[in-house]
Amino acid sequence: MSFAPKILNWYYEHQRNLPWRETRDPYKVWLSEIILQQTRVAQGMPYYLRFVEAFPTVHDLANAPEEQVLKLWQGLGYYSRARNLHTTAKMVVTDFKGEFPKTYKELKSLKGVGDYTASAIASFCFDVPEPVVDGNVYRVLSRYFGVDIPINSTQGIKYFKELAREVMDAENIRDYNQGIMEFGAVQCAPKKPYCLLCPLQESCVALQKNKVDQLPVKLNKTKVRNRYFNYMVLLDDDGNTVLEQRKGKGIWQNLYQFPLIESGKMLQAEELMPLMLKKDAIPETASLSLYNKEPIVHKLSHQHLHTQFWILKTSDILEEGIPWEGIRDFPVPVLIADFIKTLKI
DNA sequence: AATACGGGGGC
DNA sequence: GCCCCAGTATT
């Protein structure tokens, strides 16, 4: 038996019940795919359920304010996904009359929809014979066929896409694509797959050559940048505080935070004082105290954020202030959300 | 061809 | 501490 039937047989036997597999509604499939980019099913599931409930149709999502979309996305990371999600919802409503396009090419033209996601929607919803190549597929193909070309090299990306196309089952593309990903996620796991119990063991090249733990090959180590954040937590006599929205290019775009003073190293109060004067949001008459003596190190893929929270009590009226409890309505990074939790205790 | 972009979970 | 996760956009 060749590769595809083995995958399909395994899938029919072992598939999990996932809500986005019970529909061909491209809106829901698209939503699930965006949520699941670089995200485990277990982590994405509650977000998917909340999004479907809050926005049952693409029109509901398109009509929502971005802030509500970001708030629902809070904690999931890669926030460009949420912004692109909103952009694409509006695009589908205005440019496609509320109906998702059915071709790979048109789907890929949508913001946040790349090669994988376009193939996924086209094959799952419209039976378009396009192979999906996600992290699971790279792993399964590289092991089963014994391919050691780096999966994140230009050559590797092209090679695996072609290989995936050659071995796919075009007649059952929906189940096949779901199946190979499910097989990678459940059976052919990244670490310590249980090959003794694998129905593909007899023809798996990596297993024959005892190279399962060396495949797939991946290049490039991420190098981490250290940054030093001083968050200024303003509190006036009325219990109001101040938030600012992150603009520009970097992390957490369009999310909210306390007024931030970034520095090249950890600062003492005396070093922070002059920098505060440059920040308009901060009143001059305020008492400064450091909340956490040990910096909180918030770790992202490419950055370690060494963070100090400074409490600034002022008798001034904070013009741009919001009630402390009102913070809950704003989308904030996990770093801020965690701090808010600890402060209230 | 590289790099930026989050956060969580497994070992 | 390191790797990986139903990747995409930008440089």
State the Cα–Cα distance between residues A82 and A193, nearest whole angstrom.
33
> Is-contact A20 A29, C-beta < 8 A?
yes
Tens of pLDDT, residues A197-250 = 999 999 999 999 999 999 999 987 778 999 999 999 999 999 999 999 999 899
Residue A36 lies in a domain: yes
Assess whether A265 (CB) lies less than 7 A from strand B: no
Examine the domain organization and report whether A195 and A245 are in the same domain. no
Residue A208 lies in a domain: yes
The CATH number of whichever domain residue A78 belongs to comes to: 1.10.340.30
Residue A219 lies in a domain: no
Tens of pLDDT, residues A280-296 = 878 877 789 999 999 99
Tokens at A44, concatenated: 């994405």
The three-state (H, E, C) secondary structure of A93-151, written as one string: HHHCCCCCCCCHHHHHCCCCCCHHHHHHHHHHHHCCCCCCCCHHHHHHHHHHCCCCCCC
The CATH number of whichever domain residue A241 belongs to comes to: 3.90.79.10
Domain edge (last residue) among A169, A195, A214: A214
Examine the domain organization and report whether A78 and A133 are in the same domain. yes
- pLDDT given for residue A149 in this prediction: 96
Enumerate the nucleotides of strand C whose atoms come under 7 Å of any protein CB: 3-9, 11
Domain edge (last residue) among A166, A182, A214: A214
- pLDDT given for residue A289 in this prediction: 93
For chain A, which ranges sit under pLDDT 70? 344-345
Assess whether A174 (CB) lies less than 7 A from strand C: no
Range of the domain at A314: 225-344
Examine the domain organization and report whether A206 and A236 are in the same domain. no
Query: Which nucleotide's C1' is closest to A32 (Cα)?
Result: C6
Assess whether A114 (CB) lies less than 7 A from strand C: yes
Overall domain count for chain A: 2
Assess whether A83 (CB) lies less than 7 A from strand C: no
A33 is catalytic: yes
Assess whether A226 (CB) lies less than 7 A from strand B: no
Residue A322 lies in a domain: yes
State the Cα–Cα distance between residues A215 and A141, nearest whole angstrom.
10
Examine the domain organization and report whether A51 and A182 are in the same domain. yes
What's the CA–C1' distance between A160 and B1, in Å? 18
Residue A313 lies in a domain: yes
Examine the domain organization and report whether A193 and A312 are in the same domain. no
Contacts of A240 (CB under 8 A, 6+ apart): A234, A318, A321, A322, A323, A324
Examine the domain organization and report whether A44 and A92 are in the same domain. yes
Residue A250 lies in a domain: yes
Residue A220 lies in a domain: no
Examine the domain organization and report whether A177 and A36 are in the same domain. yes
Examine the domain organization and report whether A193 and A270 are in the same domain. no
Tokens at A24, concatenated: 């061909």
**In whole angstroms, what separates CA A16 from the centre of its chain?**
22
Tokens at A337, concatenated: 């959300």
State the Cα–Cα distance between residues A185 and A189, nearest whole angstrom.
6
- pLDDT given for residue A294 in this prediction: 93
State the Cα–Cα distance between residues A89 and A102, nearest whole angstrom.
15
H or E element, residue A240: strand A240-241
> Is-contact A138 A151, C-beta < 8 A?
yes
Examine the domain organization and report whether A230 and A311 are in the same domain. yes
Query: Which nucleotide's C1' is closest to A133 (Cα)?
Result: C6
Amino acid at residue number A6: K
Q: Compute the residue count for chain A.
A: 345
- pLDDT given for residue A63 in this prediction: 98
Amino acid at residue number A336: I
Tens of pLDDT, residues A142-170 = 999 999 999 999 999 999 999 999 999 99
Examine the domain organization and report whether A124 and A38 are in the same domain. yes
Query: Which nucleotide's C1' is closest to A113 (Cα)?
Result: C8
